[in-house]
Structure formats: structure tokens, C-alpha cells
Structure 1
Amino acid sequence: MSRVAIVTGGSRGIGRTTAERLAADGFAVVVVYAGNSVEAQSAVDAITAAGGQAIAAQADVADEQAVAAVFDTAEQTFGGVDVVVHAAGVMHLAPLAELDLSVLDGMHRTNVRGTFVVDQQAARRVRSGGAIVNFSSSVVGIALPGYAAYAATKGAVEAITLVLARELRGRDITVNAVAPGPTATALFLDGKDPETIARMAAQAPLERLGTPADIAEVVSFLAGPARWVNGQVIRANGGVI
């Protein structure tokens, strides 16, 4: 029987590449998307065309009933859940003094409550030998101007991750977070001019932006062979910090 992975934010960007990588690793994958069913189906089609198993499931990650239904679907379709990758998130940038507080609340709902809700179901339902992988951001350490609200939500993700790893003592389930640096995704590139992108690409000693495949490789490691890596935040950023 295949191991089973749920990937939130799995219809685009790092989440989609991660879903495709886990499918290539032999996982049956549930691609969770917020609203764009066309993108989600495209991800499923790409996985199945490559010989993998996948289905799409819609959910607002901050809605506990919708997230529970995704886990129900995974169990009913594939027999259980072994890995949960929570890649869904939103980012809005502005100086702290200028950020609309309704935007702050929206980011908090998706990034913090969403992580809590997804991890709550994962903690209850992931099988022994499994893994939970959350997504933080290297901006928590880099502390770039304009990122205060977003970095604050990702700092919360790191706290949730480290505590949950300890709460699952005795379950043989690892809990880690991946914190990408500048990565060439639509989420990162949107609204940035070429000079800004070039400057951020030059920050890493490797002198390039990360790619979704770079990040998916780390998730693949944490989801599979990395049984002795637990309660950690992996800063996958090419050496920026």
C-alpha cells in the first residue's frame, strides 16, 4: 500500500512542485487548494500522467470542518494519512506603520490559524512513522523591512512546529518546518522590479534565487528518510543566513 501525503497549497508554486516530488517518491497525494480548481486539476493531471496517484480537495485551511473533510477524503480514498505538508499561505508586504490591520488579520487567519487547524488534524490522524512539515520563511531571521506582519505569522508557525514535535512524544511522528529564502515563485516575484529581484538573488553565496524544486527536495527528505530530524526549522535559502 502506498504511503499517503496531504499537501496544502498544492496547486501552485512550491506546494505543487512538492506534491509532484512526493508523488514521484511513491506517495499517493491529496492536492489541497483554496479556490482555483483548474490549477489543482492541472497538478493532479501532471502527477497521474507521470504514473503517480493524486486527487484534488478544496478547503480553506483556517476552516476546521473543511480541513477535517480533507483528511476524511484521504482516509476514504487511500486508506490513511502518513505525511502532511502545509504549504498554503498568503503574503502582503507593507511597512508596519502603514499596514491595514484588516490585512494583518487576514494573514493571521490563513498563516497562523490555518497552520494550527491543519496541524491539529495531522496530530490526531497521521499514522505512526509519519511526518508533519510546516512552512516558515527565512525572512523571520533576515528581518527585511516591509515583512513585519508576514514574518510575525511565520514566527508563530515555527513556535507551533517546535511545540507539536514535543507533544507527539511516543508517536514516532516527526514535526519540522522548512523556511525558504528568496525562491522564484509567483508569490515572491509578484510586485518586485528586476533590480530588486537581482539584488535578492545576489544575497546567497550561491548567487541565485532558489527554485521550487530546491525546496521540494528538502520536504522529500523530511517526509521520507529523515527520521532523526525532528523539531527543527530548516532554513533552505542557499546560505543567505
Structure 2
Amino acid sequence: MASSELELEGRKRKVLEVGCCIQREEKMLIYEYLPNKSLDLFLFDPMRSAVLDWPKRFPIINDSDMNLKISDFGMARSFGGNETGANTSRVVGTYGYMSLEYAIDGMFSVKSDIFSFGVLVLEIVSGKRNRGFSHRDHHHNLLGHAWMLHKEGRSLEFVDDYLGISCYLSEVQRSIHVGLLCVQQCPDDRPSMSSVVFMLGNEVELPQAKQPGFFTERDLFMAERSSRTNAPSSINLMTVTQMEAR
């Protein structure tokens, strides 16, 4: 089995793959057991999230001496040594983290990973899941909500209520901005991972973020989907086409 590691351009992130096996067409990755479970167990729990103040969350985003462990191989793919992207007819992955081009067209690349990372950054800052997010004033998902507040200069309203951020405003606002750069709709607009690392760790001027993927409001999307579903169709449960020579 040709196993390809996710190379984050110079960053020392550890993929805890301890082995692999293959039998005929079945492939299996074996990786380390994580006794503390995953980040979302704490981040999205109303009681446990209070433990994650900003001095704990920012190192998770920026991987500063945290030795983060990548352990989700739910959409792992095998690549050749010179490949940076591909197309698939079978889209698999975790809803809420898949990029637009992958979810719609099956096109995935390193920029798809950047999109997923951006979603994670925005979730860490807000303490809310992208999937299932709702707001009383609009029908956008978490990414759209973050972008709207950012454009209006109200990014701090996006921050988790449990965070005490008075001493860390610059880091928080920078993290939101970088997260939005990562989830831009067009893959070519998204930064590389090395650029993400640099922007998070340095006080440099950041480029303007463009509209994120999946920005269409849910009510408009559902209305369009409903109109397609309710389009006139045959009342027959089965149709038969006869092929005749002309």
C-alpha cells in the first residue's frame, strides 16, 4: 500500500500512523489510541468548553509546542508522489468541513485541506459547530456569519462567550481573519499552509478575505431544491422505453 502523508509544508505535525495492512482490495490504517478523545468533546460541550480559555485555544490553532495529533483518516486518499489533487466520483468526508469544489464536483487538492482547517479555526474561536449552526437574524452557516461580522467590523461578536479575550484581541481577530482566508470559495484564493502559519505567528498585514464557500442562504437553497423536487413528473411508478429501428 502506498501511504501518503499530509505534508504541511515544513510544519512538524505528527501523523500517528503506526502501521497499515492490505488484503486484496481492502486497505486499513492503524494509528495510536487517543485516550483524551477529540477536541470537539470539549469545544462544543457547554460545561467543558469553559476549560478551553484563549491561552489554550490559540496554541491549538497555531500548534505552538502543542504537538497536535492528526487522527481522523475519514477521507484519506492515496496519491502518487507528484500529485497535488485529483477527482473522485465518490465523495466521502465529514459534513461541515468539506470544501465546495469537493462536495459538489468531487475535486480535491491541498486547498481542500486548507478549507477544512479554516472551518476548524472558526469553530475554535466561536465554540460553535459549522454544521447545524443557526442565527435568529439570518440563515447563513457559521462561515457566512463570521464573514458578515468581519465585513461590518464586528468580528468580536463572533467570539465564544466563555473566552476572556481582553488581553488577546489581536490574536483573536487575526485568527478569525486567517480562518476566513482559508474558507474562501475559490481554491486559488486560499493561502498555502506555510502562509497560514506565518500569518498566525506574525503581525503582518493580511489580505482582504473574499466570500466563503456555501454562503448561499439556506432558505433560498431549500426553496430551489424544493422547486426541483416538486417539478411536474409522471404519475407512473415505472417508465418503459422501447428501442425501435428507424
Tell me the TM-score normalised to structure 1 length. 0.30
Tell me the TM-score normalised to structure 2 length. 0.30
Q: Larger Rg: 1 or 2?
A: 2
Task: Tell me which protein shows more strand as a share of its residues.
Answer: 1
